[in-house]
Structure 1
Amino acid sequence: MPWLHRDCAANELHKVASRVEVERRGSVHQTATSRRDSSSNAEGHKPAVYPIAPKKTADKDLTYISATEVKKHDGKEGNRLFIVVDEIVLDCTDYINQHPGGKQIMQSFAGHNCSWQWWSFHDRKIWNGVAVNFRVGRTDGTANRFVPAYIGLRPLGYHGE
């Protein structure tokens, strides 16, 4: 059974399910639909839509998404909004308006890594209770645009974990 974004209407399920493609990359099965975001990048290519992973999926088994692809998901012009925390890609599109810290903070990190900022304001309980519900993949090479803040020898937000 393919996993789809919660915002898919029931009548779209049959259309989307008929276009599901499965690709094998190493030991990880990747599932991608041909349903795309509504906008195109400069080359005319539309960013792919990635399904929310089941909670029980281990991080190492998540679909690999290149840093270039993550950057395309900036929440602008109809694109989904991705952020990266510890190389895990979160699709925050459907959560952005409910975020207690406001949508502006999430928009400022769209398509980018925000690991140290995330852990400065959230703990493992929030990760396991909320963020895990938005995981769409794993990545590497996404840069954080800001230098981490330190207090003494520890990064800001360090909880001894």
Structure 2
Amino acid sequence: MSAQITKAEVAQHKDDKSMYIIIDDGVYEIANFVNEHPGGAKILKRMAGKDATKQFWKYHSKGVMEKWGAKLKVGTLKEEAKL
């Protein structure tokens, strides 16, 4: 079972040591991937700690997620109570 991570926890991971992004319901650690990203590190650093779902699917195909998703995934987004 993968870790359940809240949006608040994701938001804390936005520096060079640890960068999390959310794509759909997955949480991904991208700090060690930023320099390999074909689009450059700048966009990943700008999205660190945030939900990048819309931006990811705008520029990537399902194949990219199949290639990299399992390698970078650290958990799933924890559902939070809706008041």
- The structure 1 segments of at least 4 consecutive aligned residues displaced by more than 2 Å after TM superposition are none
Match of 1:119 among 47, 57, 68: 57
Match of 2:7 among 59, 67, 88: 67
- Alignment of 1:88 onto 2:4: no
SS of 1:131's equivalent in the other structure is: helix
| CA displacement 1:63-111 (0-9 Å, x = unmatched) | 10111111000025xx401111002000001110010000000001000
Distance 1:72 1:109 in 2: 12
SS of 1:95's equivalent in the other structure is: coil
| Number of positions where the alignment pairs a residue of Structure 1 with one of Structure 2 | 79
The structure carrying a bigger helix percent of its residues is: 2
SS of 2:55's equivalent in the other structure is: helix
Question: Please, what is the CA RMSD of the aligned residues?
Answer: 1.4
Shift of 1:121: 0.8
Aligned 8 A contact 1:74 1:110 in 2 = yes
Distance 1:67 1:120 in 2: 22
AA partner of residue 44 (structure 2) = M
Higher relative contact order (CA 8 A, sep 6+): 2
Which of the pair has more CA radius of gyration?
1
Normalised by the size of structure 1, how large is the TM-score?
0.46
Aligned 8 A contact 1:89 1:136 in 2 = yes
Aligned 8 A contact 1:75 1:82 in 2 = no
Shift of 1:130: 1.5
Aligned 8 A contact 1:90 1:134 in 2 = yes
SS of 1:64's equivalent in the other structure is: strand
Distance 1:95 1:70 in 2: 17
Structure 1, gaps ≥5 residues long: 1-60, 142-161
